[in-house]
Copies of this chain bind each other. A is one copy, B any other.
Amino acid sequence: MKGIRRLAHHLDISIGTVSRALNGRPDVNEETRKRVLQAAEDFGYVPNQSGRSLRQGTTNIIGFMIQTGSEITGQGDTFFMSVFDGVQVVFARHKLDLVALLCSSEEDPGDYLRRVVARGFADGLILSATQRHDPRIEFLAERNIPFVTLGRSLTDAGQPWLDLDFEGMAQASIDRLVARGHRRIAITRPHDDVNLGYVFVDRCREALAAHGLTLEDDLIFRSTPNEAGGYQIGRDLLALDDRPTAILLINETIAVGFYQALSEAGIRPGRDIAVIGRYSPHAHFLSPPLTCFRLSLRDLGIALAETLLSSMPAFRHHYPHATANQLWPMELVEGESDAFQIHQS
């Protein structure tokens, strides 16, 4: 055991707290900070050299790691390009360049990130697709490399993060559907261990429980984030003996395929089943219009960039008010896909 992990073990506090204390973050109490700094001195802890060079900002490049591959970006991207646009607005102020680090879905993201860091060409990093347990977070924190995550994780090194408010989406959707009489409500989750899936399922379960309802296991559909995944969910749902009367789609890329599967069976959203999803540029092709949650991706990019820079010594003074941890709200756009109501007998 070495570095920041050893300090945390010795002090019996979390790696996140140690990291926050070492980075002079305000959300650590004074006594803890003193203990950490004393222990760091006792142990002769110095930040890893590659981290140090990264922190000094010698390359003026910031890397944004995203997952690619035919299952993920095979039909294009309607999320990250707009986020990049916002990030670049901020970086342009500081002559920083953004590069997209494209990690193929066939490769382990941890291995990929180790190569990126070994090559030392970025001053800081933005990670996306945070997993339930994400070794990338500890890896970067131990090296004192500035980074921000788009998404939370159970692995918490005290790094700044932004995340879409999936809890808010889950709560508002379940409340809305229950108010319209639905009792058998299905939800979807991603095929992999991305953290947002857990957050979403947990909050849906809690929201249903508050109404005295249970989230049944056979009403949780897993799929890849693409049209084919949505189509498969539609087929699987239609094959159930006791079909749910409503469904909540977590991913913006699956609505099109889901509609298609329903359409082939003569089932119409809004008339025969209630559907709530997420906005994408495809959404306005759907008939009937999808009731969906929307956010400004460009503004999210701006906030991500400012949060990252607020954690980097060279730029911190420009962003004294950046929020280190932030749930990004999504706004409900009323469509017609959830007009279907259940009338209690």
Contact = CB atoms under 8 A, between A and B. Distances in A.
Q: Classify the interface of chain A: helix, strand, loop or mixed.
A: mixed
A281 interface: yes
Nearest to A86: B70
A112 B99 CA distance: 12
Interface residues of A, number: 40
Contacts of A121: 59, 61, 119, 121
A209 interface: no
A101 B99 contact: yes
A101 B69 CA distance: 18
A282 interface: yes
A112 B121 CA distance: 16
A7 B58 CA distance: 36
A282 to B, nearest CB: 7
A151 B217 CA distance: 51
Given A79-B76, A84-B73, A112-B97, A119 B59 contact: yes
Interface in A74-126: 74-79, 81-82, 84-85, 88, 92, 97-102, 104, 106-107, 112, 115-116, 119, 121
Contacts of A101: 97, 99
A101 B63 CA distance: 10
A335 B316 CA distance: 55
Contacts of A82: 70, 73-76
B84 A68 contact: yes
A281 B104 contact: no
A97 to B, nearest CB: 6
A60 interface: yes
A116 B121 CA distance: 11
A60 B282 contact: no
B81 A106 contact: no
B92 A98 contact: no
A83 to B, nearest CB: 10
A298 interface: yes
A282 B280 CA distance: 12
A73 B77 CA distance: 9
Nearest to A76: B78
Contact of A99 (B63, B73, B75, B281): B63
A227 B227 CA distance: 21
Interface string A112-144: 100110010100000000000000000000000
Query: Which of A76, A88, A121 has the most chain B CB atoms closer than 10 A to its own CB?
Result: A76
A76 B73 CA distance: 11
A298 B59 contact: no
A305 to B, nearest CB: 13
Nearest to A260: B284
Given A75-B281, A282-B282, A102 B99 contact: yes
A102 B79 contact: no
A75 B283 CA distance: 12
B98 A85 contact: no
13 contacts: A68-B85, A69-B88, A73-B81, A73-B84, A73-B85, A74-B81, A76-B76, A77-B81, A85-B104, A88-B102, A92-B106, A227-B281, A282-B285
Closest 5 CB pairs of A and B: A76-B78, A100-B100, A73-B81, A285-B285, A121-B121
Given A61-B121, A74-B82, 12 more contacts: A70-B82, A70-B298, A74-B81, A76-B78, A76-B79, A76-B82, A77-B77, A92-B104, A92-B106, A97-B101, A99-B99, A121-B121
